[in-house]
Chains A and B, each alone.
Chain A
Amino acid sequence: MPVVATIDASPASANRGDSDAASAAAGDRRAFERLYHGHVNRVYSLCARMVADRTRAEELTQDVFVRAWEKLHLFKGESSFSTWLHRLAINVVLNSRKSTAREDARFDDPAGNAGLDSIAGVVGSPMAPGELLDLEAAIAALPPGARHVFVLHDVEGYKHEEIATQLGVTTGSTKAQLHRARFLLREALNR
Chain B
Amino acid sequence: MTAPMRCDEFERLVDELLDPGGSEPVRAAAAAHADACAACAGLLADLRRLRADAARLGTLEPARDLWSGIAARLDTPVIAIADRGVEPAERPAAAASRRRGWWMAAAAAGLVAATAGVTTLVVRGTSTAATAGGVGAAGGVLANGPSAGAPVLRASNARGVDAAYDSEIVALHALVAKRRASLDPATVAVIERNLAVIDTAIAECKNALARDPESVFLKESLTSAYDSKVALLRTAVALPSAE
Contacts and interface: CB of A to CB of B under 8 A. Distances in A.
Interface of A: 25-29, 32-33, 36-37, 40-42, 44-45, 48-49, 54, 57-58, 61-62, 65-66, 69, 73, 135-136, 139, 150, 154-155, 157, 160, 175, 178-179, 182, 185-186, 189-190
Main secondary structure of the interface of A (DSSP, over half): helix
Contact of A26 (B53, B61, B66, B204): B204
A183 to B, nearest CB: 8
Interface in B10-41: 12, 15, 18-19
Contacts of B57: 45, 49, 135-136, 155
B208 A27 contact: yes
A182 B47 contact: yes
Interface stretch (B70-78, B131-139, B228-236): B70-78
Contacts of A57: 62
B54 A190 contact: no
Given A44-B61, A154-B54, A175 B15 contact: yes
Interface of B: 12, 15, 18-19, 43, 46-47, 50-51, 53-55, 57-64, 66-67, 69-71, 73-74, 200, 203-204, 207-208, 211
A54 B66 CA distance: 13
A45 B70 contact: no
A42 B211 CA distance: 31
A41 B59 contact: yes
Given A26-B208, A36-B67, A182 B59 contact: no
A27 B18 CA distance: 44
**Which interface residue of A37, A73, A150, A185 has the most chain B CB atoms within 10 A?**
A185
B57 to A, nearest CB: 6
B53 A135 contact: yes
Contacts of B203: 27
